[in-house]
Amino acid sequence: MKLPSHLTVSNNNLFIGGHDCNLLASEYGTPLYVTSEDRILQNYSDFFKALKTHYDPVRILYAAKANGNLAIFRALAQLGAGADVFSTGELRLAEIAGMPHDRLLFNGSSKTKEDLALAVEKGVTVTLDSIDELHKLDTIADESRSKAQVSFRVNPAINVPTHPKIATGLSTSKFGIPHQKIIPAYMEALSCENITPAGIHCHIGSQILATEPFVKATEVMMQLACELHDLSIRFSFVDLGGGLGIPYRHGVDKAPSYREYADAVMPVFLKGIKEMNEHPQLWVEPGRSLVADSTVLLTRVNSVKEAHRRFVNVDAGFNLLIRPTMYEAYHEIVVANKADSPCTAEYTITGPICETGDVFAEGRLLPEIKAGDLVALLDTGAYGFSMSSQYNTRPRCAEVILKGRDKSLMRRKETIEDITRTMVTPPWQDEPRRS
Ligand SMILES: Cc1ncc(COP(=O)(O)O)c(C=O)c1O
């Protein structure tokens, strides 16, 4: 298997960012998420440069949902990134990380009154997903005598070659306003006293391994932006969303590079803005492509069982990484203490959760595995910890971040007390039982 440059093998041991995974696992315990900050910063600056080659006013809004750890937010904030936030929690994290409010976009298909009120109070631009939401926001802004800056999320009705659960711009998706109804939506916004249309937004899906769907979406977006410009609407930004995939199957999947993405999409964007004779900021909202390959999930082998298959029972389960269970997602696996040993046997890697679906990988050819070995699941930085749960009353694991020779916890392991702290037993259970 071909490893990316931040993953190396020395003396049969797997290293991430120059740190031995086996030593990290011994020091911090397992399961353990380990993230290379350097890799994230490299990904960010590669994307930024690829876009900047074509156009200057570019802003990258990190899609907070991909990995919500504050340390990652802060690292990206320090480079000038903003954030696509999808909840008040994500908005709060972005604030704590030091991202200014004008670098945030509050997305979401079902926002509460409180969500909208917070966006208005903080002066964060809101992406609207319905006309209902437009009027709700107008009323909220009126009550606080403010103006709300908005964009509408366009549903461009584009089929994308990805898992159906993460295709978001299909004509049947729950997200956005059908592209045929976008012009009336902006007209309605203009009739609202407390609303200022500031931009236009779309996001067609995630883990997309071709440039064509992005090109098609950009065509729809620029066509709409030009039509709206003719109707005297001036945008300060055009947001093309996120969605660029990564090659989870190393050496098999082919993901467009940032340069290939930019070279495909930017001519369409530039043609559109030339027609408008305007220079709105270009916003993109990558999540996965910035953080996925920065991280490994280390998990210790509890036991190996010969049954109708050879099972490797590890100490991480789908409570920590749900992608294989939820999306049949593939993650490369390296036995971190036998990284250069010949692959001689087929294994099915399973977790400790009480569900048949708690399987990370089936029929993988790996070196001979024994209890106590350390398994590394690669490319787990996006939608890994951020989609974790405490199912089976399992405290979530720790996360470590690496930068150069430095290493630090970026989240401690949870305890059982962390789980029970929010539980309340009703008073009648304390009363003596009447017979
Ligand atoms: C509105 C929005 N923007 C950006 C993203 C990030 O997508 P990705 O991680 O595939 O880049 C998502 C992911 O679901 C999203 O919903």
For residue range 130-140, what is the model confidence (pLDDT) as tens digits?
Answer: 999 999 999 99
Taking CA atoms only, the protein residue closest to ligand 1 atom 13 is 206
Kindly state if the Cβ of 280 falls inside 6 Å of ligand 1: no
Average pLDDT over residues 210-216: 96
224 found inside a domain = yes
CA–centroid distance, 84 to ligand 1, in Å, is 8
Instruction: Name the domain count of the chain.
Output: 2
Q: Which of 84, 94, 73, 78 has its CA nearest to residue 243?
A: 84
Taking CA atoms only, the protein residue closest to ligand 1 atom 1 is 203
> What is the spatial distance between Cα 283 and Cα 232, in angstroms, rounded to a whole number?
21
Considering the domain architecture, whether residues 257 and 328 belong to the same structural domain is answered as: no
Look up residue 424 and give its two tokens.
């309340």
Residue type, 402: L
Best residue among 105, 203, 387 to mutate for probing ligand 1's pocket (most ligand atoms within 8 Å of CB) is: 203
pLDDT in tens, 151-166: 999 998 788 877 888 8
Give the model's pLDDT for residue 216: 95
Buried b / exposed e over 50-63, threshold 16 CB at 10 Å, is bbeeeeeebbbbbb
3-state secondary structure the chain: CCCCCCEEEECCEEEECCEEHHHHHHHHCCCEEEEEHHHHHHHHHHHHHHHHCCCCCEEEEEEHHHCCCHHHHHHHHHCCCEEEECCHHHHHHHHHCCCCHHHEEECCCCCCHHHHHHHHHHCCEEEECCHHHHHHHHHHHHHCCCCEEEEEEEECCCCCCCCHHHECCCCCCCCCEEHHHHHHHHHHHHCCCCEEEEEEECCCECCECCCHHHHHHHHHHHHHHHHHHHCCCCCCEEECCCCECCCCCCCCCCCCCHHHHHHHHHHHHHHHHHHHCCCCEEEECCCHHHHHHHEEEEEEEEEEEECCCEEEEECCCCCCCCHHHHHCCCCCEEECCCCCCCCCEEEEEECCCCCCCCEEEEEEEECCCCCCCEEEECCCCCCCHHHCCCCCCCCCCEEEEEECCEEEEEECCCCHHHHHCCCCCCHHHCCCCCC
Please say which residue of 241, 268, 290 terminates a domain. Answer: 290
Kindly state if the Cβ of 176 falls inside 6 Å of ligand 1: no
Average pLDDT over residues 194-223: 96
Considering the domain architecture, whether residues 283 and 344 belong to the same structural domain is answered as: no
Is 397 a residue of the active site?
A: no
Range of the domain at 253: 37-290
Which CATH number fits the domain that encloses residue 341? Answer: 2.40.37.10
Best residue among 76, 84, 106, 283 to mutate for probing ligand 1's pocket (most ligand atoms within 8 Å of CB) is: 84
The pair phi, psi for residue 365, each rounded to 5°, is -80, 115
Considering the domain architecture, whether residues 375 and 303 belong to the same structural domain is answered as: yes
User: Is the model's pLDDT at 342 over the cut of 70?
Assistant: yes
Considering the domain architecture, whether residues 336 and 298 belong to the same structural domain is answered as: yes
Best residue among 206, 237, 261, 326 to mutate for probing ligand 1's pocket (most ligand atoms within 8 Å of CB) is: 206
Q: pTM of this prediction?
A: 0.95
> What is the spatial distance between Cα 178 and Cα 153, in angstroms, rounded to a whole number?
9
> What is the spatial distance between Cα 54 and Cα 353, in angstroms, rounded to a whole number?
48
Considering the domain architecture, whether residues 390 and 259 belong to the same structural domain is answered as: no
Give the model's pLDDT for residue 301: 98
Give the model's pLDDT for residue 162: 79
Neighbours of 128 (CB within 10 A): 29
Average pLDDT over residues 95-100: 96
Is the separation of the CB atoms in 397 and 316 below 8 Å?
yes
Average pLDDT over residues 235-263: 97
Measured from the CA of 206, which atom of ligand 1 is nearest? 10
434 found inside a domain = no
Considering the domain architecture, whether residues 154 and 268 belong to the same structural domain is answered as: yes
Look up residue 26 and give its two tokens.
């011994």
CA–centroid distance, 205 to ligand 1, in Å, is 7
Give the model's pLDDT for residue 166: 80
Measured from the CA of 245, which atom of ligand 1 is nearest? 10
Give the model's pLDDT for residue 434: 67
Local confidence band at 435 (pLDDT 50, 70, 90 cut-offs): low
User: Is the model's pLDDT at 173 over the cut of 90?
Assistant: no
Local confidence band at 431 (pLDDT 50, 70, 90 cut-offs): confident
Which CATH number fits the domain that encloses residue 224? Answer: 3.20.20.10
Give the model's pLDDT for residue 267: 98
CA–centroid distance, 241 to ligand 1, in Å, is 7
Is the separation of the CB atoms in 382 and 292 below 8 Å?
yes
Kindly state if the Cβ of 241 falls inside 6 Å of ligand 1: yes
Neighbours of 112 (CB within 10 A): 12
User: Is the model's pLDDT at 126 over the cut of 90?
Assistant: yes
> What is the spatial distance between Cα 433 and Cα 435, in angstroms, rounded to a whole number?
6
User: Is the model's pLDDT at 280 over the cut of 80?
Assistant: yes
Task: Please report, rounded to a whole number, the percentage of residues in the chain having pLDDT higher than 90.
Answer: 91
Give the model's pLDDT for residue 14: 98
Average pLDDT over residues 399-416: 98
Considering the domain architecture, whether residues 335 and 256 belong to the same structural domain is answered as: no
Kindly state if the Cβ of 125 falls inside 6 Å of ligand 1: no
Average pLDDT over residues 121-127: 97
Give the model's pLDDT for residue 179: 85
CA–centroid distance, 113 to ligand 1, in Å, is 23
Q: Could you say which of 21, 192, 202, 354 is catalytic?
A: 354
Please say which residue of 290, 315, 337 terminates a domain. Answer: 290
Q: Which of 335, 317, 329, 419 has its CA nearest to residue 382?
A: 329
